[in-house]
Structure 1
Amino acid sequence: MPLPSADTPLYNHPLPDIEQWLIAKGCEQDRAERHCWYVQHSDWKAELCLEIDQLTVRYRQPPESDYAVQRSFKYSLSRQDIEDAVFAGP
């Protein structure tokens, strides 16, 4: 099933579509904390958590062990806006 258009607010995406989108972006779901996802790029890593009213992203730049930057994005933003912001890195 195709995703809603990229300019659709994230709150109008069914959860399976959000999960499909995250998988397509290279994210892996946490087995214990099912609302959290992890993604790794060459120069940074991030934890994405699907909270009640927003997507919270905690970035980490190797070799640091703690998350260095945290950002939150309301679900009222479009999927494209969130994608552009989150996957651009810290």
Structure 2
Amino acid sequence: MKFTAVILALATAVAALPAADVNADGNVSIQATKKWQASGGCKSDWAGRCNAQCIGEAKQKGYKCKDIDSDITGSNCIIGWSTCECTCFS
């Protein structure tokens, strides 16, 4: 019975502690991200143009990106073909 009371008291004390202020030290950054597949689907020539395609599509969609990332991935394509995956960080 005492063990249960100690655990209950500890849980109550922890729950009563104030939440940490994540903005106090400036180490936490929250970014919204939008991800999409660039138009064009599976292609064999994304190298050298995937990033430019993502930048153009982000502007066309009206996204306000601080940074854009592009990745070439072969998922759902036949061997030797790939898709361009875009990420907008705002």
Aligning the two structures, in what range does the TM-score lie when normalised by the shorter sequence?
under 0.3
Per residue, is there more helix in 1 or in 2?
2
Q: TM-score, normalised by structure 1?
A: 0.27
Per residue, is there more strand in 1 or in 2?
1
Tell me which of the two structures has the higher relative contact order, counting C-alpha pairs closer than 8 angstroms and 6 or more residues apart: 2
Q: Which has the larger radius of gyration?
A: 2
Q: TM-score, normalised by structure 2?
A: 0.27
